[in-house]
Each structure stands twice: as C-alpha cells, then as structure tokens.
Amino acid sequence: MKKIVLGIISLVLISSFVFAQQKDAFISFGKEIHNFGKIKESNGKVEYKFEYVNTGNSPLIITNVKASCGCTSPTWTEKPVMPGQKGFVSAVFDPSNRPGKFNKSIMVESNSSKSRVVLRITGEVAPREKTVEDYYPKTIGELRLETNHFAFVQVGNNEVKRDTLKIYNASSSGMEVSFENVPKYLSLRLSTSVLNPGEKAYIVGEYDGAKANDWGFITDRVKVVVKNHEQKIGSMTISAKIEEDFSHLSEKEKRDAPIITFENPNFDFGSTKSKNKIEHVFKFKNEGKRDLIIHKIRATCGCTAIAPQKTVIKPGETSSFKATFTPGSRTGKQRKSIYVICNDPSKPTVRVMFSGQLL
C-alpha cells in the first residue's frame, strides 16, 4: 500500500513539474553553430540567420543580443514570438581587414527557461589583394607615403641612426622631392634624383643623437616639397627618443652603475575642488656605486618641474626636485606624468606621477 501511495505522489510531483515547465517560453534553435567556410574579404559582409521555435507555452521575448566583437552585427526578432511560432537571430560578419580564421560568439538572452544561448559563427577569410592605396595610404599631392610619421624610435646619444620610409609616385609624370625646415641633427634625401611615374623609392633618413644635444622624446615637423607639373607642399613628423648608450659597458661597469630610486614616485593629491597650483617635492637617491647624472626632467601637459638641487648625485646621496600641477579648468580623474632621464642603465627613463580627483 505504501508503495502505491509513494508512486501516486511521485507521479503527481512529476506531472506538476512538467506542467510548470510547459507554462514557460522555451527557445529552440535549429542549429547553434554556423560555419561560413572560406569567404573572400573582397566580397564584403556575410550574413546567417539562426532560426528558432518557441517550443514552450508562453510568449517568447528576446531581451538582449550581444556579439563578441564589433565585426559581428546581430539583429533579431524583437516582437514576442508566440508558442509554436518561429523567430530568428541574424549575425552579419564584416571580413574587412580580418584575414585568416575567425570564431565569433553571439549571446542571446530571453525569458526562456533556458535564459541564455550562445550562438557561434566560424570560417576563414581569404585576404583581398592589396592596392597601392593600402601600401601607401598618406598623400602629398600625387606622392604617396607609407606613413607621414618617420619614427627613429630609440637613438643613442652618440649614435647616428639610419632608416628609410617607402614612397610611390602615383602621377603620370616624374617628380622631384625635397625637404625644408630640417634640423641640424637630421638629414633627409630621396634614394633617386627623379621619381618616375609608377615608381617606388625611399626617403633615406639619418638621425645624429650627438648633434641633437637633447634627451628624451623629441618631435620635429619638416616640409615635404613635391615638384612635377605643379608644386605641392606637405609635412612629415620626425620623432626619436634620445637615451644614453650603455652598450659599451662591461659587466663590472653595469654592476657598479648608478641606481636611481624614488622615495615615492606617485603623488596622490586626493580629491580637491582647488583650481590653484598643486606642488610636490619628489625625493630620490643614488643607491649605486657611481655618480648619478640627471640629464633632463620633462613634464607633460599641465605640469612643470624645476631642476633638481643637484644634477650629479654621489653614491648614497639624495636629491629632489619640485613639480607643479596646474589644474586650470580640468575636472575628473587626473594622471599627469613627469619623466626623469638619467644615466642609470637599468632605468634610463623613470616616470613619476601626479594623480587625484578634481571636483
């Protein structure tokens, strides 16, 4: 008798659970992964519609659809889908500048008893053939350049660094290229005297770190003059970071080198409504075995720094410099950097900071 009663109770509970489940909406996709196979970048966007059926007993509403990256733009059935009816989630993939294999997900959230479903699109993008415009996107008239920023990156203080920048003549006539406002520590020339139509060439640059007589990040703008049947003038940015060359140091010299350490490299001024100047003294010490030389202190926007008490700090000695941050009309979170350039081979450039909240 007990077995019969227990059986009836179990049947009632199971029936109640099934009935409760059937009252919910339920999203059932025909497939949750679609492979586009191999697609051509040149053919543009591809789209696939994931279809689903509401197999529950209540209206199904998709509340949110989120793709894993901006290259996948989903749309979906936004109105309620009645029981037994169909809806869709569409995934549009843009292969532009995305050669190679891809695997992207789309998260679908709804009022279904299975509240989240992750759809996936996969495939491989065959890259399009690149054009002259792709290789040389910057222009001065019909002279095309791979970039208008000639970056020498890091240059030693006693180094002459050479580099090249690619150019292309997109016109129907020969052109001559020359440069104006070139600083004394920089030389620029073309790899050919006349750049013929459809011809590729190089701007050859030499950056003399010793002649620059400066430290840290340096930028210059030079004029680029292009002459063919008419004259066009453009500009190009030249940049380099001048640091002391430590490549000649022996292992012993490296061990005995100066070591710069700051008492507190990050000054937090907290929260303030003040628009007045905020000042702080940054203290540092030479913990090495040779003289520490401060080459330069460079402040970023909104900050100024006064030269340290000493620019040559003996082993074990301390020094400091006062820095000032001028908030002006700024509000919100602030992080302002000051760069200390020195002869510590392990840390030739040290960043110290002002940070805080301006109300």
Contact 169, 198 (CB under 8 A): yes
Q: Sign of dihedral through CA atoms 129, 133, 138, 143? A: positive
Give the number of other Cβ atoms within 10 Å of residue 69's Cβ. Answer: 11
Domain stop point among 82, 103, 126: 126
Give 122's strand partners. Answer: 35, 103
pLDDT of residue 18: 43
pLDDT of residue 21: 45
Give 74's strand partners. Answer: 91
Question: What is the per-residue DSSP string for 36-58?
Answer: EEEEEGGG--EEEEEEEEE-SSS
Contact 42, 128 (CB under 8 A): yes
Domain stop point among 210, 243, 276: 243
Question: What is the per-residue DSSP string for 62-117?
Answer: EEEEEESSTTEEEEE--SPBPTT-EEEEEEEE--TT--EEEEEEEEEEESSSS-EE
Domain stop point among 197, 227, 243: 243
Candidates 209, 162, 202; CA nearest to 183 is: 209
> Residue-wise over 168-200: b if at least 16 C-beta within 10 A, else e?
bbbbeebbebebeeeeebbebebeeeebeeeeb
For the chain, the C-alpha Rg in angstroms (whole number) is: 33
**In a shared domain, residues 112 and 167:** no
Phi, psi of 6 (to 5 degrees): -65, -35
Does the residue 7 lie in any domain?
Answer: no
Contact 175, 164 (CB under 8 A): no
**In a shared domain, residues 116 and 141:** no
Contact 179, 222 (CB under 8 A): yes
What CATH number is attached to the domain comprising 34? 2.60.40.10
**In a shared domain, residues 48 and 116:** yes
Contact 116, 168 (CB under 8 A): no
pLDDT of residue 12: 42
355 by DSSP, 3-state: which? strand
According to DSSP, residue 141 is labeled T
Range of the domain at 303: 251-358
Does the residue 12 lie in any domain?
Answer: no
**In a shared domain, residues 95 and 138:** no
Helices within 151-244 (DSSP H only): 209-212
pLDDT of residue 11: 45
Does the residue 308 lie in any domain?
Answer: yes
**In a shared domain, residues 338 and 279:** yes
pLDDT of residue 88: 96
Task: List per-residue pLDDT tens for the chain, 359 residues long.
Answer: 445 444 544 444 444 444 444 469 999 999 999 999 999 999 999 999 999 999 999 999 999 999 988 778 899 999 999 999 999 999 999 999 899 999 999 999 999 999 999 999 999 999 999 899 999 999 999 999 999 999 999 999 999 999 999 999 999 999 999 999 999 999 999 999 999 999 999 999 999 999 999 999 999 999 999 998 788 999 999 999 999 999 999 999 999 999 999 999 999 999 988 778 899 999 999 999 999 999 999 988 778 878 888 899 999 999 999 999 988 888 999 999 999 999 999 999 999 999 999 98
253 by DSSP, 3-state: which? helix
Does the residue 178 lie in any domain?
Answer: yes
**In a shared domain, residues 300 and 347:** yes
**Count of domains for the chain:** 3
Contact 47, 91 (CB under 8 A): yes
pLDDT of residue 185: 98
**In a shared domain, residues 202 and 267:** no
pTM over 0.75: no
**In a shared domain, residues 256 and 326:** yes
Helices within 128-283 (DSSP H only): 132-135, 209-212, 251-255
Question: What is the per-residue DSSP string for 286-326?
Answer: E-SSS-EEEEEEEE-TTEEEPPPS-SEE-TT-EEEEEEEE-
